[in-house]
Amino acid sequence: MELVHSGKVRDVYEDGGDLILVASDRVSVYDVILPTPIPDKGKVLTRLSLWWFERLADIVPNHVISATDVPHEFAGRAVRVRKLRMVQVECIARGYLAGLGLREYRAGGAVSGVALPPGLTEGSQLPAPVFTPTSKAAVGEHDEFITYDDVVAQEGAEIAERLRETTLAVYRRGAELARERGVIIADTKLEFGWDADGGLVLGDEVLTPDSSRFWPLDEWEPGRPQRSFDKQYVRDWAAGTGWDKTYPAPEIPADVVAATRARYIEAYERITGESW
């Protein structure tokens, strides 16, 4: 197998005509990989993605070929997938205001060119989920918000519309399912690609704590930062150290590693209803 890409979290190998996506235990914040791994994180991301892919398959086909036909040293954290030509847009859906969306809203009352009503605050639920795409950043650069019109200009009106509708449909299904289990999916990022037959396929990972903001429903309270099951915890710890968000990042202390691992596992257990 040939290593064709080493991302912030995953290593991608080519095997025959397929790809093997291997999720590591690496954690990145502000696009910087931290030096300390989070045990089991790669397995959580892999198992949760597979769980979701199955439950979204009637909305959009996915890239999964097999979760077992992978080299044994990667067992549990690797998936054999169809190689896609990736759409050069990160398809984000937001149902609540947080992170970059909140910052944009505060600056101009809109997110990705979508005007929002006044009076919203940190953690507010939006009147309806919105599609807030970003460009796919080159290595070392941050993704940037683009408007729906930018996606139309880049991909054409018909594809832009499909990306938006499919992204929102996946978000709505995911958010509804998670809510029944006491988890708010505040926002999520999807990646689509084209298969050999020209079909639109959901790739990458889906509705994981790395690609989404997960909040416990019973603690949700707009007007403040929300407790989260995702890597926000590591982000907050990292920001609190005074680190300047460039390489090298500080080592994560053992208690923060343990608390982060527990959050990933709690997200998995709550959403799937299975115990880790």
Q: Where do contacts with ligand ATP occur on this chain (CB under 6 A)?
A: 5, 7-10, 12, 19, 21, 63, 81-84, 86, 139, 191, 193, 203-204
DSSP notation for 60-81:
S-B-EEESSSS-GGGTTSEEEE
* CA 136 vs CA 140, 217, 236, 258: distances in Å: 11, 31, 24, 31
- Taking the mean position of all CA atoms in its chain, how far away is CA 122? 20
* Shortest reach from residue 233's CB to ligand ATP, in Å: 19
> Two tokens at 129?
């989920």
Q: Tokens 């080159």 belong to which residue? A: 138
Rg (CA), the chain: 18
Instruction: Find the largest Cα–Cα distance for the chain.
Output: 54
Q: Which is nearer to ligand ATP, 33 or 177 (CB)?
A: 33
Query: Can you give the length of the chain in residues?
Result: 276
Q: Please name which of 152, 235, 164, 236 lies closest in space to residue 200, comparing C-alpha atoms.
A: 164
Taking the C-alpha atoms of residue 101 and residue 123, their distance in angstroms, rounded to an integer, is 10
* Shortest reach from residue 271's CB to ligand ATP, in Å: 20
Q: Which is nearer to ligand ATP, 82 or 94 (CB)?
A: 82
Q: Which is nearer to ligand ATP, 122 or 143 (CB)?
A: 143
Query: Quick check: 72 and 22 in contact, CB under 8 A?
Result: no
> Two tokens at 261?
């691992």
Q: Which is nearer to ligand ATP, 79 or 97 (CB)?
A: 79
* Shortest reach from residue 167's CB to ligand ATP, in Å: 15
* Shortest reach from residue 157's CB to ligand ATP, in Å: 24
Q: Which is nearer to ligand ATP, 117 or 140 (CB)?
A: 140
Q: Specify the pairing of strand 32-33 against strand 183-190.
A: unpaired
| Cα first-last separation, the chain | 30
* Shortest reach from residue 60's CB to ligand ATP, in Å: 13
* Shortest reach from residue 26's CB to ligand ATP, in Å: 8
Q: Which is nearer to ligand ATP, 82 or 164 (CB)?
A: 82
Q: Which is nearer to ligand ATP, 104 or 205 (CB)?
A: 205
* Shortest reach from residue 208's CB to ligand ATP, in Å: 10
